[in-house]
Amino acid sequence: MGAGQSRSSNTLVVPQANQALQQLKYEVAQEIGVQIPEDGYYGYMATRDTGAIGGHITRRLVQIAEQTLSGQR
């Protein structure tokens, strides 16, 4: 890798999951009252807001996994 390039550690194992994760991000943001920038640039958002979105997404994914593993879904 050249200078200034980095490898993303967030590579999805199932690339098709990206669309579902994007949808979940928008749903969570709407639920907690955070506006996602239309241009996709998060640099002007408060860290508190982006962290809240990520935290809620993680909780939701854990809940979905627990339901799936217990056969409740």
What range defines the domain where residue 59 resides? 17-69
**Percent residues over pLDDT 90 in the chain:** 55
Is residue 5 included in any domain, yes or no?
Answer: no
Is residue 3 included in any domain, yes or no?
Answer: no
Is residue 24 included in any domain, yes or no?
Answer: yes
Is residue 9 included in any domain, yes or no?
Answer: no
Is residue 30 included in any domain, yes or no?
Answer: yes
Measured in whole angstroms, the distance separating CA 4 from the mean position of its chain's CA atoms is 25
More confident residue, 59 or 16: 59
Is residue 42 included in any domain, yes or no?
Answer: yes
* Spatial distance between the Cα atoms of 52 and 36, rounded to a whole number of angstroms: 12
Is residue 12 included in any domain, yes or no?
Answer: no
pTM given for the model = 0.69
pLDDT band at 47 (very low <50, low <70, confident <90, very high): very high
* Spatial distance between the Cα atoms of 19 and 7, rounded to a whole number of angstroms: 21
Number of domains in the chain: 1
Is residue 2 included in any domain, yes or no?
Answer: no
pLDDT band at 73 (very low <50, low <70, confident <90, very high): low
* Spatial distance between the Cα atoms of 26 and 22, rounded to a whole number of angstroms: 6
